[in-house]
Amino acid sequence: MLQAEKAQVAEALTKVEAGRVELELSMTKLRAEEASLQDSLSKLSALNQSLSQDRLDLNGLVAQLEEEKAALQGRLRQAEQEATVAREQQERRKELQLEQEVALQGPGGPGGLEWQRTSKRRWSSSSPRCFISSASCRSS
């Protein structure tokens, strides 16, 4: 009986030893997995920090571009206003020049009163009247 008990104890001890080895192997695997997860967590944390910095940088660039856009739109409006003023001044100079030409020709000059009513009318080369003295002007 002692032999049987001894064999049972040896068998139980072998099973316990195998379980312990299996548990140690599982612990080793779990520690390796934990280390891998810690590494992944560190990498994700660094990536998250980098993305946050990129977002800050991009927000700064967007703000800068919006300021530049606003400045350029202001310059564009100013240039458009200046162009409008220049066109109006040019039109006014043309009108003044035409008025001066009419004044130099007098009320009986080319076009007479009809020309004065339509001050923006331009004389073409096919017009029967010309701005040269009436003696040298030949009408058809």
Is it the case that residue 25 has pLDDT exceeding 60? yes
Cβ 32 vs Cβ 24: under 8 Å: no
Delimit the domains of the chain by residue range. 11-98
pLDDT, one tens digit per residue, over 77-91 is: 999 999 999 999 999
> Side-chain half-sphere of 48: how many Cα atoms within 13 Å?
6
Tell me which of 3-12, 17-26, 55-64 is least confident. 3-12
- pLDDT at position 124: 43
Query: Average pLDDT, whole number, for the chain?
Result: 84
Of 32 and 128, the one with more pLDDT: 32
Rounded to whole angstroms, how far apart are CA atoms 78 and 85? Answer: 10
- pLDDT at position 118: 53
pLDDT, one tens digit per residue, over 41-66 is: 999 999 999 999 999 999 999 999 99
CA distances (Å), origin 28, targets 14, 16, 25, 38, 108: 21, 18, 5, 15, 117
Closest by CA to 92, choosing from 118, 119, 130, is 119
Rounded to whole angstroms, how far apart are CA atoms 115 and 110? Answer: 8
> Side-chain half-sphere of 24: how many Cα atoms within 13 Å?
6
Rounded to whole angstroms, how far apart are CA atoms 128 and 137? Answer: 9
Highest mean pLDDT among 25-29, 108-112, 115-119: 25-29
Q: How many Cβ atoms are within 10 Å of 109's Cβ, its own excluded?
A: 16
